[in-house]
């Protein structure tokens, strides 16, 4: 779910359906987009097709060409007799989608032939823009790349990308979608190295076990170098990645061993202020002390790699 202001709705949805944890995306993800309303056509089919084309470009870039989104968009199907509900009390979310799916079938689109179905319900009055139920996505507003990358991420099994100034929860508030870089949070830069590892887009990454320097490449292309450095602590696992665009900096995320993001993959928490500066990365020459563990310094940077020192 993306930016859901109504906790009651979230609770309802959570109580109704535990979406089956998603599956990593296929090389060719087939998506059916059903535009269904009680009569309105608030945006055009061409606008929706463009949003999906841009999302395909985003996913192809993020996955280094390993995932392609192949989407079919229905015409506006304006025969719904009631506004879609935002959840279902009887335990079957399918009742939300069934009328629109029937309309789509009548227009020649068989939902069963697709990996994921996105339902555009502009008439729904819900406390969220998007919600994902297994392999079915419900959107209540015009699709954007950020919204689609977020909800599709849920269908792939990803949980929310969280954010906090520090991981001492007594001192620093934890924001559910507070990661300002990942679309699984509130960002639009790219999926994190941690998320790409979960999705199988980058291979297993090295564990830091000794005080020395490491060379790290950004997780934005295929590389034989490390694309993340992983630090295990008694409280959880740290994922450190280097970004060369649009900033050159080292980004720190923490996966708490006691996280509660099931049925999705464990969420990572982006450290929003690893230094006194108001930015979620450390720049060349700066250091960050991992609680109870290493002091990490970004020693050298270039467009293609960085040198990171652990003391
Ligand atoms: Zn979400």
- CATH code for position 70: 3.40.390
pLDDT tens column, 254-272 = 999 888 888 899 999 999 9
Q: What's the rounded Cα separation, in Å, for the pair 215 and 222?
A: 15
pLDDT of residue 170: 85
> How many Å lie between the centroid of ligand 1 and the Cα of residue 255?
17
Classify residue 44: in a domain, yes or no: yes
pLDDT tens column, 180-236 = 999 999 999 999 999 999 999 999 999 999 999 999 999 999 999 999 999 999 999
Residues 12, 151 within the same domain:
yes
Residues 280, 310 within the same domain:
yes
Name residues with Cβ closer than 5 Å to ligand 1, which is an ion.
Answer: 1
Residues 86, 134 within the same domain:
yes
Residues 141, 216 within the same domain:
no
Quote the DSSP letter at residue 308. Answer: E
> How many Å lie between the centroid of ligand 1 and the Cα of residue 289?
30
**Number of CB atoms found within 10 A of residue 43's CB:** 16
Residues 219, 299 within the same domain:
yes
Kindly tell me the burial class for residue 227, based on how many C-beta atoms sit within 10 Å of its own C-beta (0-12, 13-18, 19 or more): buried
Residues 11, 28 within the same domain:
yes
pLDDT of residue 49: 98
> How many Å lie between the centroid of ligand 1 and the Cα of residue 176?
9
Q: What's the rounded Cα separation, in Å, for the pair 232 and 226?
A: 16
Residues 145, 175 within the same domain:
no
- Domain residues for the domain of 247 are 160-311
pLDDT tens column, 18-59 = 444 567 788 899 999 999 999 999 999 999 999 999 999 999
> How many Å lie between the centroid of ligand 1 and the Cα of residue 151?
6
Q: What's the rounded Cα separation, in Å, for the pair 254 and 232?
A: 10
Considering its fold, how many domains does the chain have in total? 2
* Full 3-state SS string of 207-274: ECCCCCEEEECCCCCCCCCECCEEEEECCEEEEEEEECCCCCEEEEEEEECCCCCCCCCCCCEEECCC
> How many Å lie between the centroid of ligand 1 and the Cα of residue 131?
7
Q: What's the rounded Cα separation, in Å, for the pair 159 and 173?
A: 18
Residues 80, 168 within the same domain:
no
Query: Looking at 7-11, 94-98, 160-164, which range is the least confident one?
Result: 7-11
Q: What's the rounded Cα separation, in Å, for the pair 264 and 132?
A: 11
Q: Which residue has the higher pLDDT, 143 or 27?
A: 143
Residues 191, 284 within the same domain:
yes
Residues 178, 304 within the same domain:
yes
> How many Å lie between the centroid of ligand 1 and the Cα of residue 161?
9
């Amino acid at each position: 779910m993306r930016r859901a202001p109504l906790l009651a709705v979230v609770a309802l949805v959570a109580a109704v359906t535990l979406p089956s944890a998603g599956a990593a995306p296929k090389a060719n993800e087939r998506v059916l987009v059903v535009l269904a309303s009680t009569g309105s056509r608030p945006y055009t089919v061409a606008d929706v097709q463009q949003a999906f084309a841009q999302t395909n470009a985003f996913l192809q870039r993020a996955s280094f060409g390993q995932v392609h989104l192949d989407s079919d968009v229905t015409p506006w199907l304006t025969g719904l007799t009631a506004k879609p509900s935002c959840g279902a009390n009887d335990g079957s979310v399918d009742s939300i989608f069934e009328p629109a799916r029937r309309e789509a079938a009548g227009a020649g689109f068989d939902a069963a032939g697709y990996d994921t179905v996105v339902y555009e319900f502009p008439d729904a009055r819900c406390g969220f823009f998007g919600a994902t139920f297994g392999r079915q996505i419900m959107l209540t507003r015009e699709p954007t790349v950020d919204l689609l990358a977020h909800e599709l991420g849920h269908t792939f099994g990803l949980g929310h990308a969280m954010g906090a100034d520090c991981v001492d929860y007594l001192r620093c508030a934890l924001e559910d979608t507070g990661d300002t870089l990942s679309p699984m949070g509130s960002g639009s830069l790219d999926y994190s190295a941690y998320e790409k590892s979960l999705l199988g887009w980058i291979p297993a990454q090295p564990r830091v076990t000794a005080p020395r320097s490491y060379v790290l490449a950004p997780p934005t292309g295929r590389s034989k170098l490390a694309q993340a450095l992983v630090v295990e602590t008694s409280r959880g696992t740290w994922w450190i990645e280097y970004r060369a665009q649009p900033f050159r900096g080292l980004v720190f995320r923490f996966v708490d061993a006691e996280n509660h993001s099931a049925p999705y993959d464990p969420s990572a928490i982006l450290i929003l202020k690893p230094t006194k500066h108001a930015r979620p990365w450390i720049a060349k020459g700066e250091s960050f002390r991992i609680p109870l563990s290493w002091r990490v310094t970004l020693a050298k940077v270039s467009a293609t790699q960085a040198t990171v020192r652990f003391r």
